[in-house]
Structure 1
Amino acid sequence: MRVEMRLVDWNPGYFLPTVAGGLLAAGGAAAFGWVRLSELMFGFGFICWVVLGSILLLRLFTQPALPNRLLPVIAIELAPPVVAGNVWFAMNGGRADFVARVLAGYALLMASVQLSMIPSYRTAPFGPAFWVFAFTYVAAVTDVIFWLKAEDADYSKAITYVLLALSTLGYAALATRTVKGMIRGTFLPEYPAAR
């Protein structure tokens, strides 16, 4: 609000300090039993999601594509509904109520977007932006685990172990590619020297 910014300069990374900050604070407050603070911070994160989400979706739909090296930050679009889902489960005692179902519905929509983005992600050079998958996808896995528990699903323990193993393999793959990229000098993008 205080600086002039073009719509094309926006990217989903703006969710992290605002939406994620508010929702994670709500989850922490809920863990300590601070009900009013968790509700307040959930509202803060949710409103940031609505406001910034509108701007970011407008940017993604109407402006030129993000630069190739930034394409992976589109994965952050999945984070708000799954983080909100995790926090909501912490706030409501793990029940799959109306709000949990609404958040899950939007999470499914954003997960389908992620599937459609796989070809685009494969064109992006591997760099720091790929680490957004770590937070986003583990938050999604956590949300699925909460749902398994809330629905008392058959084989929930086995599914949980598989999801945790896949998450661990995902982190290992990210770490391995990062180390290889750092050794080769390709992980961090090069910028022209300032004059």
Structure 2
Amino acid sequence: MTEPSQSPRPKQTLRALPAASFGAVLGTVGLGLLWYKASEVFGFSRFWGDLFFYTSVVLFMVLGFAYIVKVANYGASELAEFRSTDKGGFYSAIPTGPLLMSAGWAETAPALAEVSLWISSFFILLFALLLMTRLFRNNDPLENANGSWFICLVSPTLISLGAVPLGYDGLSEFTFAIGASFWALSFPIVLFRTLFGRETPPALRPTWCIMLVPSSAFFLSYVAINGGVVDGLARGVYYWTLFLAFILAYASRDVWRWPFGISWWAFTFPAVALAGAAVVYAGAIPSDGGKIVGVVALYLATGVVLTVWVRSLKAFFQGTLLLEAPGATAGNPHQQPESP
């Protein structure tokens, strides 16, 4: 008697490595910068900042090498994905990592920081220009709007975090204006699509948290350009970000039922950015309440990043992190949902 045929099990492959995997770099380097700032504001040890920061540098080199190999083997499908408006925004996570590293190197290695700043800034602005051009020309459906647009269009705001310490005030103001304008334009579109479009599948729901990044980045960059002063506008943006965080936390209350994948890295950088805003606020406006919020946000963000790190390593070594569906073609290489 013939035994029933079994479908082949999905296999882990480099072909399934998404550009959104560089979100792991953003979350880790952001956590390093967060602990650096916490050492200034709260007097904590810089050890944890160094640990997370240099871990992100190594991770970027490993992912960068892996991605170069992938592009060399599957260039056609990768180019098609880069040109799409629903996934193309994730590619901005690649230069945003070195941009954040430039902020960490500004004092200890200024020459390296300058090289990292200018190269990453060029590609961040280029990717934002390309995405906006495609949106103008393609007339894509509203369903293509997603959190990756924030990574691409709002990341120019973050350039000031590396530029201000190096004395590039003009570059900081120029890129801040671009990123802030794109935040005002893209946020209502993505929010409308999330609330009134098709239901977000559980595997992609972590990308909801990317909505925290624009206002957090605005606050951090605005305060940096403003000489560290938290004025009325900065306070308003910070309070809005906290309220949005509560909304997203309640909407994600069943998070442990969501399937784990690369998309979970979308929790990390938003959590770190929000915590960064809380720590900066606590340092600029000393108060018991502000300090408590800053410390709690710091440890929550650290817990989020470490949790996703542990689960990602476990899934990778179990062969379930980077899965390719049986029979996948070069035009559809990614089994895992993408997100930062």
TM-score > 0.5, shorter chain as reference: yes
Contact 1:18/1:48 (<8 A) preserved: yes
- Give 3-state SS (helix, strand or coil) of 1:31's partner: coil
Is the 2:278–2:293 contact (alpha carbons within 8 Å) kept by the matching residues of 1?
A: no
In structure 2, C-alpha distance between the alignment counterparts of 1:39 and 1:4, rounded to whole Å: 31
Does residue 144 in structure 1 map to residue 284 in structure 2? no
State percent identity of aligned pairs: 28
Q: CA deviation at 1:128?
A: 0.6
How far apart are residue 160 of structure 1 and its match?
Answer: 5.3
Corresponding residue for residue 114 of structure 1: 248
Measured against aligned partners, the alpha-carbon deviations of 1:18-45 in whole angstroms (never above 9, x if no partner) come to 102x111122222222222211111100
TM-score (norm 1): 0.88
- 315, 318, 331: which is aligned to 1:181? 315
Question: Quick one: distance in 1 between partners of 2:322 and 2:169?
Answer: 42
Q: Is 2:191 the counterpart of 1:57?
A: yes
Deviation string 1:95-130 (CA, Å, 9 cap, x unpaired) is: 120220121132023112222222353332111111
- 3-state SS, counterpart of residue 175 of structure 2: helix
TM-superposed CA distance for 1:86, in Å, is: 1.0
Q: Find the structure with the greater CA-based Rg.
A: 2
* Per-residue Cα deviation, 1:38-78 (whole angstroms, up to 9, x for no partner): 11111100111111112101211211122221110110001
Match for residue 17 of structure 1?
152
Q: Residue in 1 aligned with 2:166?
A: 32
User: What TM-score results when the alignment is normalised by the length of structure 2?
Assistant: 0.52
Moved more, 155-164 or 75-84: 155-164
Aligned to 2:138: 3
Matches within 5 A, 1:100-111: 100-111=234-245
Query: What is the rounded CA distance, in whole Å, between the counterparts of 1:158 and 1:113 in structure 2?
Result: 20
CA RMSD of aligned residues (A): 2.2
Correspondences of 1:166-177 after superposition (within 5 Å) = 166-177=300-311
1:145-160 superposed matches below 5 A = 145-154=279-288
Question: In structure 2, do the counterparts of structure 1 residues 54 and 160 end up closer, same or farther at CA, with 3 Å as the change threshold?
Answer: closer
**Is 2:262 the counterpart of 1:131?**
no
Cα distance in 2 between the residues matched to 1:189 and 1:107: 35
Question: Which deviates the most, 162-171 or 35-44?
Answer: 162-171
Counterpart code for 2:154? V
Aligned pairs for 1:67-106 within 5 A = 67-106=201-240
Local SS of the residue matching 2:269: helix
Q: Distance in 1 between matches of 2:212 and 2:223?
A: 17
Greater mean alpha carbon deviation, residues 154-163 or residues 65-74: 154-163
The number of residues matched between the two structures is 194
CA distance in 2, matches of 1:153, 1:107: 19
- 1:15 positional shift: 0.6
Is the 1:79–1:136 contact (alpha carbons within 8 Å) kept by the matching residues of 2? yes
- 2:278 is matched by which residue type in structure 1? V
The AA in structure 1 aligned to 2:206 is P
Alignment pair present for 1:193 and 2:328: yes
Conservation of the 8 A alpha-carbon contact between 2:203 and 2:261: yes
More displaced stretch, 77-86 vs 58-67:
58-67
**Does structure 2 retain, via aligned residues, the 8 Å contact 1:127–1:189?**
no
Distance 1:58 1:158 in 2: 33
Report the secondary structure of 1:119's partner residue. Answer: coil
Using the TM superposition, give the Cα deviation of residue 85 of structure 1 relative to its aligned residue in structure 2, in angstroms.
Answer: 0.8
Are the counterparts in 2 of residues 26 and 40 from structure 1 also a CA contact under 8 Å?
Answer: no
Instruction: Give the drift of 1:138.
Output: 0.7
Q: Distance in 2 between matches of 1:41 and 1:152?
A: 30
> Which string of whole-angstrom CA distances, capped at 9 and with x for unpartnered residues, describes residues 120-157 of structure 1?
53332111111111111111111100110111224877
